[in-house]
Structure 1
Amino acid sequence: MCQHQPACPTSDSADREAARPVASHPEQGWSLLCNGVVLFEDTGELLPDGQVIGPHRPARTDRIVTAA
């Protein structure tokens, strides 16, 4: 699928999210990557074979500290 040089990661690669977007619809919350992956703004993914990858945002590490 990808025509970029160097080629983007394939849809079955661990770094598949690094592929370049070919269509972006931020108002709908998704982008189509050149490897066929649909990437959603919540970090969920839909792979070309129909497999669904759930959201995988990193856990928050910052804490709000309030004065007593």
Structure 2
Amino acid sequence: MSDILNAILERGDLAHLALFLWACAATAQAYFALRELSEASRRLDAFVRELARFNRRCRSDQ
């Protein structure tokens, strides 16, 4: 990794390095956001399932 960084700095390609770091950070943020979104979807699904089960129990008691 140090060799790659030195090669970039010697050439003066700081813009490319900044762009690469920005792309890595954006990708990581998108990954974490999608992971949290899928977890929230699972929690909502579990809630709706429990609510449907509760409604079935209440109807059968009447």
User: TM-score, normalization: structure 2?
Assistant: 0.29
Highest RCO, 1 vs 2 (Cα 8 Å, sep ≥ 6): 1
User: TM-score, normalization: structure 1?
Assistant: 0.27
The structure number with the bigger radius of gyration is 2
- Greater helix share, 1 or 2? 2
- Greater strand share, 1 or 2? 1
